[in-house]
Amino acid sequence: MSRVLVTGSADGLGREAAKQLVRGGHEVILHARDDARAQQALDGVPGATAALPGDLSSITSTRALAGLLNAAGVFDAIIHNAGIGYRERARLETEDGLEHVFQINVLAPYLLTALVNRPARLIYLSSGLHRSGDPGLGDLQWEHRRWDAYQAYCDSKLFDAVLAAAVARRWPDVLSSSVEPGWVRTKMGGREAPGEIGPGAETQVWLATSSDPLARQSGRHFYHRRPRETHPAVADRVIQDGLLAACYELTGEVIADSSGTAPAG
Active site residues: 153, 157
The three-state DSSP-derived secondary structure of 202-233 is HHHHHHHHCCCHHHHCCCCEEECCEECCCCHH
Closest by Cα among 7, 13, 9, 17 to 207: 17
The DSSP-derived string for the chain is --EEEESS-SSHHHHHHHHHHHHTT-EEEEEESSHHHHHHHHHHSTT--EEEE--TT-HHHHHHHHHHHHHH---SEEEE-----S---S--B-TTSSBHHHIIIIIHHHHHHHHSPP-SEEEEE--GGGGG-----TTTT-SSS---HHHHHHHHHHHHHHHHHHHHHH-TTSEEEEE---SBSSTTT-TT--B-HHHHHHHHHHHHH---GGGG-TT-EEETTEE----GGGG-HHHHHHHHHHHHHHHS-----TTSPPPP-
Q: Which strands form 50-53's sheet, in the order they lie side by side?
A: 50-53, 27-32, 3-6, 77-80, 121-125, 175-179, 221-223, 226-227
